[in-house]
Structure 1
């Protein structure tokens, strides 16, 4: 049995308390968005795929805000690496968080990787880091949906995510993936009366 969590739509997500670049600690339970919090977990400063994704997220930050979505990006990087990320990648609007622990990553069901020396960006990989994931969390702290990956590439396109949020909000879509695999129980005649 895996020691990692498997988050289920409609159920509460784990607590999340992380430090932010240039700001105070960030707590998920303190967030009161109109519609969702988008929690994006990224690998860190060493990852060129993360750089592309976070730059795109920064460029679309206002698009998410207009839809009532608070957005943040979280890594297991140190403060120094997260500060470099903000400067080198031009992150100004996006809340950039760092210091995610292994226990927090496991609670969110994230995949972990060990550092293997120099990355393709010519930077030393940290001792451990998380593989990418993205979660939409409702204002009440329950999971609407998410995607967890084992590899750095083939991430969701942010325009697709924005389209999905529009569709959810316009059509009142309920979360999917909540079925536990057990057969449905037919109501008895007594219960139907």
Structure 2
């Protein structure tokens, strides 16, 4: 089953209010409204695209060790995935799919990192819960996400909904700002050029990991 098929199946059960979710229709309507407004804002079109230069970044892993994009790029192409956090089931399914594709990335000489605004404690939970073998990095205040054009502020009505669902982003992220990154996937060549970019303001839609393989192969040829 493809990643998107798994996401679609989860979404269908969640929005139907099947146990254990039991979500009322009003919650689904609010989530749909927020997604539609983010799509209509054009934010995704303003994010970095293929052909742009990726910003350098250094972020901490779950143990507090600094991980530098420059160091990773010195070793080969870099795959970067921005995700919302361990509380997001769609993100967890995506991380699992990336883990399954990791041998293919590494066979082409590429490294993979995933970036979220959550605290290191929650990043450790992401690693443990999803059985990950690649770095999960914490992006305080979504500053790196902002450099890629991905950061957005949640509208007040969505903050109220999240609070009602006990989804306390300030606690997850150690940051009171109520911002998130739009889910995004990038392939960056060793010279910092973005060869692949997929940004989707609809968090229930994610590209397949294998969609990046042509760009990774291209990056590997450039490096050679």
Q: Normalising by the residue count of structure 2, what TM-score does the alignment of the two structures yield?
A: 0.64
**Residue in structure 2 matching 1:131, options 182, 189, 196:** 182
SS at match of 2:146: helix
Cα shift at 1:161? 2.1
Counterpart in the other structure of 1:145: 196
Counterpart in the other structure of 1:62: 103
SS at match of 2:190: coil
Cα shift at 1:89? 1.8
| Aligned pairs for 1:57-136 within 5 A | 57-91=98-132, 93-114=133-154, 115=159, 116-117=161-162, 124-126=167-169, 127-136=178-187
**Residue in structure 2 matching 1:159, options 182, 193, 210:** 210
Number of residue pairs the alignment of both structures matches: 166
- Unpaired runs of at least 5, structure 2: 1-41, 170-177
Deviations 1:39-97 (A, max 9, x none): 11011111111100101111221111001111000000111211111112222x11111
State whether residues 79 and 99 of structure 1, in contact with CA within 8 Å, keep that contact through their aligned partners in structure 2: no
- Unpaired runs of at least 5, structure 1: 173-193
Richer in helix (by share) = 2
Change (3 A) 1:26 1:80: same
Change (3 A) 1:97 1:29: same
SS at match of 1:83: helix
Q: Normalising by the residue count of structure 1, what TM-score does the alignment of the two structures yield?
A: 0.73
Deviations 1:112-142 (A, max 9, x none): 25354269xx762413321201111111122
- Counterparts of 1:54 and 1:44 in 2: how far apart (Å)? 10
Change (3 A) 1:169 1:125: same
